[in-house]
Amino acid sequence: MGKIIQKDKTIFMREKNRIIRKTKSVCPVCMTKIEADVIERDSKVFLEKTCNEHGAFSLLLSQHPEYYRGLNDYYFSLMSESLPQRDYILHLTNACNLNCPICLADANQKERKDYPLDDLKGFLKGKKNYKIDLMGAEPTMREDLPEIIDEINRSGNIAALHTNGIKLADSQYLQQLMKSGLHEVHLQFDGFNDDVYEKIRGKKQLALKIKALENLERLHVATDLVATIIRGINEQEMVKILDYGARKDFIKEIFFLGCRFLGGAKNLPIENCVMPDELIDLLEEQTQGKILRENVYRFQKLYFALLSAFSKRKCFYIHHYIIFRNKNGFVPLDQIMNLKGIDDSLEKFKNMRIKGNVLAVPYLLACLIFRFVGFRALSLLKEGLFFILLFIKGFNLSKLPKKGVLLGFITACDGYSLDYQIARNCGKGAISVERGVEDCGAFDNVSRDNFDAELSR
């Protein structure tokens, strides 16, 4: 992986060769529910499990045990119970206008019915500020997509389109979706190298992607760039994507999705799959330490605290950070907010929350305000408050101010990585014709990928 930036070790304590957490998982071969351990061994963290029939499996979760342990302890102290689900993936169709070699959804390979609009109307009844992630395979294959978006918008919920962007290269089509009430677009964007697209998506696509981005920018559509990162293919594209997003104020999020052992990606060696922990190392190296793991660690604790404060579900596997645009590109959050100083306050909030102290949330919010540093930070305080409001009203990217960009280091659960304790608060539910409404997208994801196997809870 190259040279790793030297970390500030003062916020961590080392322990070796210990079980961090006991959980349950599945055998990636037969999908049988089995016991699993999250264990520190040889200065790394692994998810280890053994199937009586298919043997032992070991997945590297993190090369930084102190980072993993600290977040593990904080997350599970605050997320002790399953929280209500308010974010759902809607599987609209299995059709796609591409046949990507690594398609995680196995597009065009399985006979599945399209999800009926009338069923969606029933699901939305009485719901407000839910996010509905419109997925396919490729949702723009649905001719009635404008009507679907209109129904979500009129019901008071958030319509989020996840797409390869081919049809968004048509400006008139994008305008039609916007008139229907589309709130945000999550664009599959794997880099600025056409050789990458040929390997991952089966054909050169960069020109179409750029055209779609130009249309999204012209129409001021809140956009998230979702880059699927595969070891040995496009890791070097991460910083290029980051630099582009920092220059464009219609880009609200940049998510680096580590490829997992799902769908067409099963044809790759399992070693090509990437967990979020490695993505953080890659971006730290490529930004020459401008984005540091130690600051991602502190912000992630803050993020978990806010999730707890407002009773929001989120997967432990998904890690975040924030950057702010400036005339020279971007500044990371740690340059305008005293992240190091907030650590003691976050621990105090955790203890107050565990004890049920009603002042825990006001205390947390007050600490946040007073940790901003200097005039430049005060000018961005309003943006920080907008960010907090999204935890209350629903995470609508179109409501984010122009300067902030949320970074995500994420993954999708597969038969290797599924962890039942983490899945309990999976950040996405799922809706489909075959499986109905499922509050845990992790279970739905793994089951759908394995010939609709039913996972025991």
Rounded to an integer, what distance in angstroms lies between the CA atom of residue 164 and that of residue 187? 6
Three-class DSSP category at 417: coil
Contact 52, 104 (CB under 8 A): no
In the prediction, which pLDDT does 372 show?
60
In the prediction, which pLDDT does 6 show?
38
Edge to edge, the sheet with strand 87-91 lists: 329-332, 319-326, 404-410, 251-258, 222-229, 184-188, 158-163, 131-135, 87-91, 429-432, 436-438
Rounded to an integer, what distance in angstroms lies between the CA atom of residue 381 and that of residue 100? 42
In the prediction, which pLDDT does 437 show?
95
In the prediction, which pLDDT does 2 show?
32
In the prediction, which pLDDT does 161 show?
98
Question: What does DSSP assign to residue 6?
Answer: P
Contact 134, 90 (CB under 8 A): yes
Averages of pLDDT over each 10 residues, the chain, 457 residues: 38 64 96 96 96 96 97 94 92 94 83 92 95 96 98 97 98 98 97 97 96 98 98 97 97 96 90 95 98 96 93 93 92 87 93 96 86 57 67 79 91 95 94 93 88 64
In the prediction, which pLDDT does 402 show?
84
- From the list 16, 26, 65, 29, the residue with the least C-alpha distance to 49 is 26
Summarised one tens digit per residue, pLDDT across range 41-83 is: 999 999 999 999 999 999 999 999 999 999 999 999 999 888 8
In the prediction, which pLDDT does 418 show?
97
In the prediction, which pLDDT does 195 show?
97
Rounded to an integer, what distance in angstroms lies between the CA atom of residue 169 and that of residue 217? 12
Contact 122, 151 (CB under 8 A): no
In the prediction, which pLDDT does 119 show?
97
Rounded to an integer, what distance in angstroms lies between the CA atom of residue 425 and that of residue 83? 6
Domain coordinates of the chain in residue numbers?
18-81+414-449
Tokens of 140: 């723009």
Signed CA dihedral, 158, 163, 173, 109: sign only: negative
Phi, psi at 255, each rounded to 5°:
-110, 125
